[in-house]
Amino acid sequence: MALAVGLMTTAVFCGLQAMRAKRLLTAALWLAAVSASVAIALYQLGAPDVAVVELSVGAGLVTILFVFAITIAGDEAMDAPPIMPKWASWLLVLLAVGVVGSAIQATPTSSAAAAEASFTAVFWQERGLDILIQIGLIFAGVLGVLNLLTEEDTPTPSPKDKVP
């Protein structure tokens, strides 16, 4: 119980720091800390499979991708004022949190554990469509990585395009 409180406090704190960070690299590292906190919380919940995936993909692979993209794009600080006013942002966030919180409160819970197949059976047999969707998504991800790696020159207008 105390561990869950600590983990969730850490996750929210690291998330806030990621949002407040001036440097992009710092924000990516705070995001990795959020992932690690969530992964430990998932393990505590009795979901070790998804905790391992979250830790390796969320805190590992995604952080490396962020560092790679920041290296290419540059770690520029942006001091421009936000588009949305602060009061409107807070209002929308509180509204969304209230809606989600009330939906959670209205959801019935069952304390008795239902008879359920193993994770392997559920994942590979009962959720076959999800696997197909994931294959498509991974293909899109590969295309994204290729795009990230492509050194493309800025197109220059050819002489034919010039209007006399």
Q: Rule CB under 8 A: which of 46-65 touch another protein?
A: 46-47, 49-50, 53-54, 57-58, 61-62, 65
* Tokens 């006399």, residue located: 164
Among 40, 87, 106, 144, which residue sits at the site for another protein (rule: CB under 8 A)?
Answer: 144
**Least distance between another protein and beta carbon 61 (Å):** 7
**Least distance between another protein and beta carbon 10 (Å):** 9
Contact 136, 60 (CB under 8 A): no
Tell me the per-residue interface mask from 6 to 45 with another protein, x by CB under 8 A, - otherwise: -xxx-xx--xx-xx----x--xx--x--xx--x--xx-xx
Pairwise CA distance, residues 141 & 155, whole Å:
25
Contact 58, 41 (CB under 8 A): no
The SS3 assignment for 150 reads coil
Pairwise CA distance, residues 13 & 54, whole Å:
19
- Residue 132 interacts with another protein (CB under 8 A): yes or no: no
Using CB under 8 A as the binding criterion, the count of chain residues that bind another protein stands at 87
Pairwise CA distance, residues 126 & 74, whole Å:
44
Tell me the per-residue interface mask from 112 to 131 with another protein, x by CB under 8 A, - otherwise: xxx-xxxx-xxx--xx--x-
